[in-house]
């Protein structure tokens, strides 16, 4: 079964209403490969989800950048899965390193969030990735495996989960993982899924790369056999996001 190329744009904590409208206009006017060949999901801050949902072309989808771990209630400042579903937001990004590291979200907490969101019917972009210190000490695979394990042991199905490998040292630094560094970890993650979640999950789960992806480096990364797309930060706020979406064509050419 082929894995459809996936391009996510994580806008993080950026934008004004005017800027958001401008990005959406650029996306709406872009000529991109067909929905059969690429799935595009943009993730604005919560407050802009309704306007983006209203204005964005119908072949692109939207994601929240976080959600509460269980059913909503007396949790000041949180946004629940139920609210996202009520607004018609189909995706959520969970376990981003900025939340793991700055807000101290543990592997267990992220695993609980993913399980609750998936159980309620959301699609999840689940992020894993090592810090520079962890890479330099040789523990990259141990770190991403334990982050993935906390998810795997809580979910009964992977069919609505996209796994995003985002090495922390490559995020917002301009220091992109080389295509072979990305491929190596993606392949290891797929082997891990094979051994722990089954061959079908390993074959069908999309593993996307995030960390300083831009219009110039996306093609070579897209050609790697286990790179099934991208989660883009900074460049998703710029017109070059369109070029990154177009790298789906490069991917397709490597598969035929």
Ligand X SMILES: O=C(CO)COP(=O)(O)O
Binding site for ligand X (CB under 6 A): 10, 96, 166, 171-172, 210-213, 231-235
224 three-class SS: coil
From 39, 96, 130, 186, active-site residue: 96
Task: Report the nearest approach of ligand X to the CB of residue 82 (Å).
Answer: 24
- The residue among 236, 147, 163 whose CA lies nearest residue 202 is 163
**How many Cβ atoms sit within 10 Å of the Cβ of residue 137?**
12
Alpha helices in 198-240 (DSSP H): 199-204, 218-222
Which residue has 């998810």 as its token pair? 151
The verdict on whether 186 is a catalytic residue reads no
Are the C-beta atoms of 231 and 209 separated by less than 8 Å?
yes
Task: Report the nearest approach of ligand X to the CB of residue 42 (Å).
Answer: 12
Task: Report the nearest approach of ligand X to the CB of residue 236 (Å).
Answer: 7
Q: How open is the CA angle 159-163-165, to the nearest 5 degrees?
A: 170
Residue number of the CB closest to ligand X reads 233
- Written as one string, the DSSP assignment of 58-116 is TTEEEEES---SSS-SS-TT---HHHHHHHT--EEEE--HIIIIIS---HHHHHHHHHH
Nearer to ligand X, 7 or 193 (CB): 7
Nearer to ligand X, 99 or 251 (CB): 99
From 98, 130, 166, 186, active-site residue: 166
Nearer to ligand X, 115 or 232 (CB): 232
Task: Report the nearest approach of ligand X to the CB of residue 95 (Å).
Answer: 10
- The residue among 161, 173, 256 whose CA lies nearest residue 207 is 161
Question: Cα separation of 108 and 95, whole Å?
Answer: 10
The verdict on whether 166 is a catalytic residue reads yes
Nearer to ligand X, 122 or 202 (CB): 122
Nearer to ligand X, 100 or 251 (CB): 100
Task: Report the nearest approach of ligand X to the CB of residue 84 (Å).
Answer: 18
Q: How open is the CA angle 142-208-12, to the nearest 5 degrees?
A: 100
Distance separating the N- and C-terminal Cα atoms of the chain: 14
Residues known to be catalytic: 96, 166
């Amino acid at each position: 079964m082929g894995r459809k190329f996936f391009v996510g744009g994580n806008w993080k904590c950026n934008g004004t209403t005017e800027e958001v409208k401008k990005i959406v206009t650029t996306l709406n006017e872009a000529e991109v490969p067909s929905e059969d060949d690429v799935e595009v999901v943009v993730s604005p801050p919560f407050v802009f989800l309704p306007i983006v949902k209203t204005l964005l072309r119908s072949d692109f989808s939207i994601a929240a950048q976080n959600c509460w771990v269980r059913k909503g209630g007396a949790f000041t400042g949180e946004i629940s899965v139920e609210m996202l579903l009520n607004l018609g937001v189909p995706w959520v990004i969970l376990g981003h390193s900025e939340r793991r590291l700055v807000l101290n979200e543990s592997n267990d907490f992220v695993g609980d969030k993913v399980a609750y969101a998936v159980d309620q019917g959301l699609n999840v972009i689940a992020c894993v990735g090592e810090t520079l210190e962890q890479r330099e000490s040789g523990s990259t695979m141990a770190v991403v495996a334990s982050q993935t394990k906390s998810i795997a042991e809580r979910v009964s199905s992977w069919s609505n989960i996209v796994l995003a490998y985002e090495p922390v040292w490559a995020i917002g630094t301009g220091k992109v993982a080389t295509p072979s560094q990305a491929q190596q970890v993606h392949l290891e993650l797929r082997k891990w899924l094979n051994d722990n979640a089954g061959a079908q999950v390993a074959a069908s789960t999309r593993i996307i790369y995030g960390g300083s992806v831009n219009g110039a480096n996306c093609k070579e990364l897209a050609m790697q056999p286990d790179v099934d797309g991208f989660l883009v930060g900074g460049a998703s706020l710029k017109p070059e996001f369109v070029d990154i979406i177009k790298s789906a064509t490069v991917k397709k050419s490597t598969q035929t």
